[in-house]
Amino acid sequence: MKLLFWFSFIVLAYVYAGYPLLMALAGAVKASKRKAETGELEVYPQATLMIAAYNEEKVIRKKLENSLSLDYAAGKLEIMVVSDGSTDATDEIVKEYGSKGVKLTAFAERQGKTVALGRSVGAAGGEIIVFSDANGMYRKDALKKLLRHFRDGAVGCVCGNLLYEGRDRGENLYWKLEEKLKKAENSAGAILGAAGSIFAVRKSAYVPLRIPVVDDFIEPLLVYQNGYGVVFEPEAVSVEKMAETITGEYGRKTRIITRSLAGLPNIAGLFNPFRHGLFTVQLVSHKLLRWLAPFFLIGLFVSSLFQSGVLFYKLALLAQLSFCLLGMAGYFLDRQKSGIRLFSVPLYFLVVNLAALNAWYNRLRGEKMIKWDTKRI
């Protein structure tokens, strides 16, 4: 049991503290070798903003108005909505914007976001495809910041920065830490995946996905695997509202991780450290070990419980129980639409790890969660 305790503890300490420190050091060493893309675009590439939609009648009008107001060269931006079997008024609302150049690709039957987008890229007129969600509202200069990196012909994918607004349940702290980690990974070489709300791919580098996986996770990795650079642009910002309830956030995380796990076989080659070196370390540390963290948490708890007759392990057990109680208190406060950082951070940590545990269960029983849900509750 001692071996289980210390093994679990060391892995968790590495995942949440050691790896970020490793990336900070690697980023600091390599940052001087990477030329940062700054300044204004001089030549605007022809771009297609591709918006994924399924029953988005509540937000699609706002999204289209936001897209049409973006600061980008006239005539250089094509806006395309990919409606994946919508049964509400989404398609009719999009058609109202046809006179403003908005195009609609509507599929009669729902097939899942990744497949719908993969089937639509060929019809896009832009040399750069910007992928977005219907509920992601871009800051006015987002496209200019995002697309300036494509001045470098070696860059195949650029990932923007997703920010959340609304009542904080610990998400803000989580995303701030993620942003810092992405910046460090970016300086070290390349980042792992993107936010589906805002990322761009050079059309010639795009790898069509006709399988039910998380496109914003798998697509950048496939682009990298094919020899292109994948970079992070923190100043290209998309803003989304947080889920209104913690159960909604739990469901969202479960879907994302379930579909990400389903996509791992497609990037199996990236787990070869002899070929990809530091990038393999990043992929294992930032993604795989994060998703395995609930099993190490269980190992830590069980080993503490069975050794609770020893003072050190008793204190370790009490610390874990106290953390869980804080998270449970945060859950009940959240139901009352109240939140305190002392409770919200443990709550969000527990929700993320419970979602990962559920995702592994889904994966083992063959559930892939092909279709995404627009209910942000």
- Average pLDDT of the chain? 89
Q: CA dist 116 to 119, 163, 194, Å?
A: 5, 25, 18
Position 167 scores a pLDDT of 61
Angstrom distance (rounded) from CA 271 to CA 136: 32
Q: Of 196, 155, 53, 171, whose CA–CA distance to 112 is shortest?
A: 53
> CA–CA separation, 24 vs 175, rounded Å?
17
225 CB burial (10 A radius; 0-12, 13-18, 19+): middle
Each domain of the chain, given as residue ranges in start order, spans: 35-242
Rounded Cα–Cα distance for residues 187 and 35 (Å): 10
**Which among 62, 54, 31, 71 has a CA at the least distance from the CA of 237?**
71
CATH topology of domain 35-242: Spore Coat Polysaccharide Biosynthesis Protein SpsA; Chain A (3.90.550)
Q: 361 is written with which tokens?
A: 């269960």
For 222-267, the pLDDT digits (tens) are 999 999 999 999 999 999 988 777 888 899 899 999 989 988 998 9
For the chain, the residue count is: 377
Dump pLDDT digits (tens) for 187-227.
888 888 888 899 999 999 999 887 777 889 999 999 999 99
Residue 311 has pLDDT above 50, yes or no: yes
Asked whether the beta carbons of 249 and 258 are under 8 A apart, the reply is: no
Taking 80 as the threshold, does the pLDDT of residue 374 lie above it? no
Of the candidates 172, 151, 164, 143, the one whose C-alpha atom is nearest the C-alpha of residue 233 is: 143
